[in-house]
Amino acid sequence: RFRRSQEIQRELEEIEEKRFELDKRHVTARQYLNSFFNDETKKTYWERECLCIVRERTGLQRATDELLMSKRGLTLENERSRAENEYRQLINLPDEHKTIKDKEREEQLIIMIAKLVEAKNNLTLELDQMRLRELQEDECLHHAFQLQGIEQPTTNFHTFDTLKDII
């Protein structure tokens, strides 16, 4: 989990660099778009370029969102693992050696573990909802591209299997 957490952090940093470069491209494209308002051919080209940049930025944002969800899932898993280990240590103590604090802590840990499992389930539901929103956004983007006569190329962003990090 620690290694995966480091990988996620590295990927987030790479995405941030790509986002910075895209922002620079977008500023340039907007400037050209505004300067060619009388030339329909060039204006159309820069409108298309802006749409392509929007698509790339959307892909980067989605990747960021999924990585952050993965990171949250790993954090929840670490917390649950620590709580379960502490709980196992407490239940392995003979009853005659357990203090009132130990018994109270056992109960607290059971509640904590249940809350962590619930939080992880909620994270999975949130991911499902996010992906449904993305499908709707994709339809809107696809429509915008069709209006501009732009073919929808496949994105060059790798798809994250976030569920493996969350579940």
Q: What is the pLDDT of residue 166?
A: 47
Q: Where are the domains of the chain?
A: 2-151
Q: What is the pLDDT of residue 8?
A: 95
Residues near 49 by Cβ (< 8 Å), separated by ≥ 6? 29, 32, 33
Measured distance CA(130)–CA(133) in Å, rounded: 5
Q: What is the pLDDT of residue 71?
A: 95
Nearest to 68 by CA among 152, 127, 1: 127
Instruction: Show the tokens assigned to 8.
Output: 């996620």
Low-confidence ranges of the chain (pLDDT < 50): 155-163, 165-167
Chain-centroid distance of CA 88 in Å reads 33
Q: What is the pLDDT of residue 156?
A: 43
Q: What is the pLDDT of residue 105?
A: 97
Residues near 119 by Cβ (< 8 Å), separated by ≥ 6? 76
Q: What is the pLDDT of residue 155?
A: 46
